[in-house]
Amino acid sequence: MTAQTDLNNSLLTAIQPDHGGRVILDPATGEPIGRAPEHSVVDLQEAIDAAKAAQPGWAALGHAQRTSLLNKAADAIEAHAEELARILSREQGKPLNGPNARFEVGACVAWLRAAADTPLEPETVVDDGTTRAVLTYRPLGVVAAIGPWNWPMMITVWQLGPALRMGNTVVVKPSEHTPLSVLALVKVINEALPAGVLSAVSGGREVGEALAGHPGVDKVMFTGSTATGKAIVRSSADTLKRLTLELGGNDPGIVLPDADPKAIAEGLFWGAFINTGQTCAALKRLYVHQDIYDQVCQAITDYAANVPMGVGLEEQNVLGPLQNASQYAIVKDLVQAAKDSGARILLGGNPDPEAKGYFYPTTLVADIDNTNPLVAQEQFGPALPIIKYTDIEDAVKMANALEVGLGASVWSSDREKAREVAARIEAGTVWINEHGAIDPRVPFGGAKQSGYGLEFGVEGLKHLGQPQIIKG
Ligand code: NAD
């Protein structure tokens, strides 16, 4: 199917305003793909009023009925999966194939079903014959779900799934870079939900700011940059809103000297380059022991050189463009600065100035200093710096040196040894011999300035409820 015929997407037509709106461009081609409504603060007030009005009825349905309706919503996503994946691919840039657009739609279904089905039983904290105390979780009220542009649909489901399951109503604010895919997702989920329970407002930072600071909002689920996370903390102060903040990362990976370079090359590659590097918990700086440094550099280069990048609707591609101009400029400038500092380019580093889209080639950079900005800053694109170390103490110190701590990984043929190193790393999740492999049953959240609060699993549900003790 060509890009042009793909515009005959009824879901895409249905979410566009009758007139006006903001034109959204395909980052792979520069072609317009649709118009997103520009909601005002008045629209936002209406959405919050509707969410407030719908919340008591939604809470009164109880867990079993909400579970059933959320599973129906997951059925609806499955029924529209290909349409959703195509909107996502065109808007975000990620290819249909590989761990990309179709995969993301599949993850929406999996995470929504997990939020619907995970049991959360009342917890008897004490029951000794004289004292009885039971911990339960009441709904919080209205939840704001504010998301980024890299995994726009999946992250929206991470936020709204547990919120709805716990009896809250939700107002979603997608990133201004990727509103269409999220509006389409919300429309599909709403096929299964009562009116007012879930709505979306589309607009820029000012709409996000108004939503996050609104007195009618009881909790903000936010995924995005650390800087915006801090702004949300400040705007939550007056009403003491509950917050879950999933913020930026700059994940280290440490390869121990006993690892097998050829065996780990594929895992290292996808750990770093999933979604063309635009993933919060992707491997962004790789520390390799000097004994196997050259072999690891060679193995990952051999693998990376054969991974196709291109327009997302073309089925053979599994890497795509950067999503927007500013992200492209960040990656280009950081790699250029690394080159200027004398670092060695193993692959890529030479963007085509004539390219129509924001394509930056898969780039591997060796012999780079740990203080280089390509290492120390969150580059959020398809460029991986590979740093040599001699002493594991230094590698752990370098891994822990930054203010962020989302994910990390340790690679070794000895799992026990890897776990010992993992326990010393300041990150919310440390993977062994893989990186970024999330699971709806396993809690996920950041350490240090990568945020606070947990998502997924039973812990994720608890973060969307008000704990209440009934004693006596
Ligand atoms: P961003 O912070 O620029 O924007 C995220 C959202 O916040 C957008 O919807 C935006 O409109 C809104 N917003 C902006 N200012 C606001 C304000 N003052 N109050 C309320 N909302 C406001 O982030 P981005 O550039 O879209 O996303 C990339 C960043 O997100 C990266 O740093 C990445 O690491 C991080 N991220 C983290 C996770 C995670 O799970 N930890 C997942 C994905 C992305």
Give per-residue pLDDT as tens, 395-449: 999 999 999 999 999 999 999 999 999 999 999 999 999 999 999 999 999 999 9
Asked whether the predicted pLDDT for residue 232 surpasses 50, the reply is yes
Q: Which residue has the tokens 């930026």?
A: 248
Name the residues annotated as catalytic: 246, 280
Does the CB atom of residue 207 touch ligand 1 within 6 A?
A: no
Q: Quick check: 6 pLDDT over 60?
A: no
Q: What are phi and psi of 229, to 5 degrees?
A: -55, -40
The answer, yes or no, to whether any atom of ligand 1 lies below 6 A from the CB of 248, is yes
What pLDDT does 2 receive? 44
- Please state the rounded mean pLDDT for residues 300-316: 97
Q: Virtual CA dihedral for 197, 202, 204, 207, nearest 10 degrees?
A: -40
Mean pLDDT of 125-151: 98
Question: Per CATH, which fold does 251-439 belong to?
Answer: Aldehyde Dehydrogenase; Chain A, domain 2 (3.40.309)
Domain ranges of the chain: 2-247+450-471, 251-439
- Establish whether residue 149 lines the binding site of ligand 1, counting it when its CB lies within 6 angstroms of any ligand atom: yes
Residue having the nearest C-alpha atom to atom 34 of ligand 1:
248
Give yes or no for residue 322 CB within 6 A of ligand 1. no
For residue 251, the model assigns a pLDDT of 98
CB neighbour list of residue 346: distance below 8 Å, 6 or more residues apart = 297, 301, 364, 365, 366, 386
pLDDT recorded at residue 43 = 95
pLDDT reading at 109 higher than 60:
yes
Mean pLDDT, the chain, whole residue set: 96
- CA atoms of 10 and 366, how far apart (whole Å): 47
Give me ligand 1 centre to Cα 370, in Å.
Answer: 26
- Distances in Å between the Cα of 264 and the Cα atoms of 135, 256, 405 are 45, 11, 23
Instruction: Give pLDDT, residue 8.
Output: 61
> What local confidence, expressed as pLDDT, does residue 9 receive?
85
For 2-247+450-471, CATH number out of 3.90.190.20, 3.40.1620.10, 3.40.605.10, 3.40.50.2000 equals 3.40.605.10
| Nearest-atom index, ligand 1, CA of 203 | 11
Per-residue confidence (pLDDT) for residue 217, from 0 to 100: 98
pLDDT for the residue numbered 7: 53
Q: How far is the CA of 184 from the centre of ligand 1 (A)?
A: 20
Q: What is the pTM of this model?
A: 0.96
Task: Compute the distance from residue 146 Cα to the ligand 1 centre, in Å.
Answer: 8
pLDDT one-digit tens code per residue, 236-257 = 999 999 999 999 999 999 999 9
pLDDT for the residue numbered 1? 41
- Ligand 1 touching residue 175 (CB < 6 A): yes
Name the percent of the chain lying above pLDDT 90.
97
Q: Is the CB of 231 under 6 A from ligand 1?
A: yes
> What band does 4 get if pLDDT is binned at 50, 70 and 90?
very low
In degrees rounded to 5, what are phi and psi of residue 103? -60, -45
Q: What are 77-92's pLDDT values in tens digits?
A: 999 999 999 999 999 9
Q: Closest Cα partner for 139 from 114, 120, 154, 158?
A: 120
Residues 340-358 have a mean pLDDT of 96
Pick the atom of ligand 1 nearest to 327's CA: 25
Q: What is the pLDDT of residue 5?
A: 45
